[in-house]
Amino acid sequence: MYKFDIGNITCYILFSIFLGGALGGLLFWLVFVPINLILESVLHISLNIDIAFLTKSLMFLGVLFIAVSTFNITFKEETQPLVNTNNNKISSNAFEIITKPQKHTQTTQVYERNQELKNICINRAGFQCEIDNNHKSFISSKQHNYVEAHHIIPLSFQDKFTVNLDTLENLISLCPVCHKAIHQGNREEKLKVLKQIYNIRKPFNISFDDLLKLYLSN
């Protein structure tokens, strides 16, 4: 990953100067000298090519390249409000922060409780998709058919319910395809999977219409 700091920029400048000089020399000896020789012997004209001038021109192009790249980096920093909110001074690893996804904060207590319930849910289902136990995915690192636990009434609607939605009654074990379909599918796909889920488990005796409304409003 590219890290925006002074060490890198120095390397960049030195490398560009070196490359400019090398290219200048190469161009001079491989292209201009032979052309000059031919012109001299055939037409008796000399081009009087100056190697120093060529080298300087290429070095100038290298420096110009650095300037444009630095401007691009600065521009990216300015278009990312996340970095500039708290402090005006951008730290040496600011560029690295921009390119990394932001972490979400979640309390350990909530996470562990959810994960434990989910584990019990998928264990209860014998690591099968409860919609159809022929739905196989792959063998996970825990050496069983990979399935995921899904909250039938999504936890995002907790504030609409007086009961706690994070319970085993509200969890179902699904293969990744069924799980993705209920979250990402179109209206028909969601309806199909939800009907199958509802035939297996009806958490808190919710009516199918009420449940469907929640999914279609999501």
Q: CB-wise, 50 or 132, nearer to Zn ion? A: 132
Around 27, how many Cα atoms within 13 Å sit in the side-chain half-sphere? 16
Q: CB-wise, 21 or 154, nearer to Zn ion? A: 154
Instruction: Decide if residue 150 touches Zn ion (CB under 5 A).
Output: yes
Q: CB-wise, 178 or 211, nearer to Zn ion? A: 178
Binding mask 36-65 for Zn ion (x = CB under 5 A): ------------------------------
Judge whether 77 and 84 are in contact, CB under 8 Å.
yes
Q: What is the DSSP string of 7-76?
A: HHHHHHHHHHHHHHHHHHHHHIIIIIHHHHHHHHHHH-------HHHHHHHHHHHHHHHHHHHHHHHHHH
Q: CB-wise, 129 or 194, nearer to Zn ion? A: 129
Element (H, E) at 135: none
Element (H, E) at 148: strand 148-151
Judge whether 78 and 90 are in contact, CB under 8 Å.
no
Min. distance of Cβ 76 from Zn ion in angstroms?
35
Which parts of 152-181 interact with Zn ion (CB under 5 A)? 175, 178
> What phi and psi values does residue 213 have, to the nearest 5 degrees?
-60, -40
Out of 59, 121, 122, 129, point to the residue binding Zn ion (CB under 5 A). Answer: 129
Min. distance of Cβ 109 from Zn ion in angstroms?
21
> What phi and psi values does residue 4 have, to the nearest 5 degrees?
-85, 95
Min. distance of Cβ 196 from Zn ion in angstroms?
9
Residue 56 is encoded by which pair of tokens? 């300087």
Chain-centroid distance, C-alpha 95: 15
Out of 131, 153, 197, 211, point to the residue binding Zn ion (CB under 5 A). Answer: 131
Min. distance of Cβ 186 from Zn ion in angstroms?
17
Min. distance of Cβ 143 from Zn ion in angstroms?
20
Q: CB-wise, 71 or 111, nearer to Zn ion? A: 111
Stretch that binds Zn ion, among 13-21, 62-70, 135-143, 196-204 (CB under 5 A): 135-143
Min. distance of Cβ 204 from Zn ion in angstroms?
17
SS3 state of residue 150: strand
Residue numbers of the site for Zn ion (CB under 5 A)?
129, 131, 135, 150, 175, 178
